[in-house]
Amino acid sequence: MTANVADNTVKESGGPWGPTVTERITVALVRKAGEDLQTLQERTGLSKTDIVNRAISLYEFIEGQVQAGKDLYIKDPKTDQTQLIRFL
């Protein structure tokens, strides 16, 4: 069952793979973000919705870690080179 609410929240019956409440939004992407989204769809086979949901969850995690004073690194397993990631 789906019901639209004034604040753009849509309540849906939940299942084992998803939440019981979904918020629908409209987003205008800059060209680069749109191209990146298309590339990710082709690479992963995921839907735009899945990619955006994962991106938001990943950003929330990273932002929380940075706010907690932690550093974020990426390591190349082939060269063992480590780089500090900074968000501006």
Please report which confidence band the pLDDT of residue 3 belongs to, taking 50, 70 and 90 as the band edges: very low
> For residue range 8-33, what is the model confidence (pLDDT) as tens digits?
655 555 556 666 667 889 999 999 99
> For residue range 45-60, what is the model confidence (pLDDT) as tens digits?
999 999 999 999 999 9
What's the CATH architecture for 2-85? Irregular (4.10)
Pull the structure tokens for residue 69. Answer: 């004073």
Q: Do residues 23 and 8 touch, judged by C-beta distance below 8 A?
A: yes
Please tell me the distance from the alpha carbon of residue 45 to that of residue 38, in angstroms, as a whole number.
Answer: 10
* Percentage of residues in the chain having pLDDT higher than 90: 68
Please report which confidence band the pLDDT of residue 1 belongs to, taking 50, 70 and 90 as the band edges: very low
pTM value is 0.71
